[in-house]
A = this chain, B = another copy of it.
Amino acid sequence: VKRIDLAIFGAAGYGGQELLRLLSAHPHFRVTAATSTRHDGRPVEEILPQLAGFYPGLRFQHPDQALPEGCAAAFLATPHGVSHRLFATLHARHPDLDLVDLSGDFRLKDPDTFYAVYGAEHHFPERARDFAYGLTETNRALVRDASFVANPGCFATGALLALAPLAEHGLLAGDVVLAQTTGSSGSGAEPQAGTHHPERAQDMRAYKVLVHQHQPEIAQELTRLGMAGMGMQEFELVMVPQSGPFVRGIFTVAHVRLPADVDAAELYARRYADEPFVRMRAGTPALRHVVRTNFCDVSVHQRGRRVVVLTAIDNLVKGMAGQAIQNLNLLFGLEETTGLWAPGANP
């Protein structure tokens, strides 16, 4: 069996922890370095007791420390703003290192949009074009040939899988309304007001109404799909992210009024027939069936030209670490499902 050694930067965050969890069973990838500024030098299994038994001997190292000999690829599970600086250093030191960045730093191709969205200047704007946008289902060929992958945002993953088939057929037009609800793990491992259990446990609320940072990312990719596909009409994304009282998952409701008479259910069934990680549902998807899996479950509902598409994903897996592994599988010529092919649970 081929062994490919990997590093995870930001391994103590939720993205990093999920990578460690998923990779513990991967037949080819082996984690030989896990960085954490805070836990530098401490055993991974002590800081992350859920992993006890799976990473004996592995200790967190400082991100500035040299990578172990033989590291072929790295995941950057570091925050927005950190990843692109880290990339520069890493790439300079290890020009052959393949990289999957889980942050938003290399997703937006236009530096002005990046500035507007993240409120900070990008130090290597020209580099963004070297990164394949890693929504596997729409960019498989690009990812396969890439050295660098910008892994999609979690909201973007749920939204794009809901809208890509329409975009590819030039069927997005007018207002495209996205109602998306995320679980608390999307806020990361650091305790904060919005994830304080006494106030989150039975609450629901919205945030960043009409101004979420994934909106330009979604728009950019939908436009690209339209361009590459059957042409493009004018459309406007309207996005209202909501916070739900669950831990994992993003549930997406996408509303589109079709510019033409199309059987949407048929179109989606065809489009996703060979996608291993997209499952069409007769009723509606449910978060509980996809949680801790790399699946995106989808249903399509239509009344005349009005179409509603629902998707359910686990924000930390298909929306983050799972999709990152799916991309790295491709990049290394492995079967896309390697290490990820596991069903959901019901209760």
Q: By the criterion CB–CB under 8 Å, are A342 and B197 in contact?
A: no
Q: Which residue of B lies closest to A187 (CB)?
A: B198
Q: Which residue of B lies closest to A344 (CB)?
A: B50
Report the minimum CB–CB distance from A259 to chain B (whole Å). Answer: 14
Residues of B within 8 A of A269 (CB): none
Binary CB contact string for chain A from 225 to 245 against chain B (1 if under 8 A, 0 otherwise): 000000000001010101011
A284 within 8 A of B: yes
In the complex, chain B residues whose CB is within 8 Å of the CB of A48: 346
A204 touches B244 (CB 8 A): yes
Known: A54-B343, A177-B177, A345-B292. A198 touches B247 (CB 8 A): yes
Copies of this chain present in the complex amount to 4
Interface SS majority for chain A? mixed
Closest chain-B Cβ to A101's Cβ sits at a distance in Å of: 21
Report the interface size for chain A: residues with CB under 8 A from the other chain: 84
Is there an interface contact between B175 and A257, defined as CB atoms closer than 8 Å? yes
Q: Which of B191, B281, B297 contacts A192 (CB 8 A)?
A: B191
Contact status A203-B240, CB under 8 Å: no
Contact A181:B181 (CB < 8 A) given known A195-B198, A199-B347: yes
Take A246-B202, A257-B175 as given contacts and tell me if A301 and B343 are in contact as well, using a CB distance cutoff of 8 Å. Answer: no
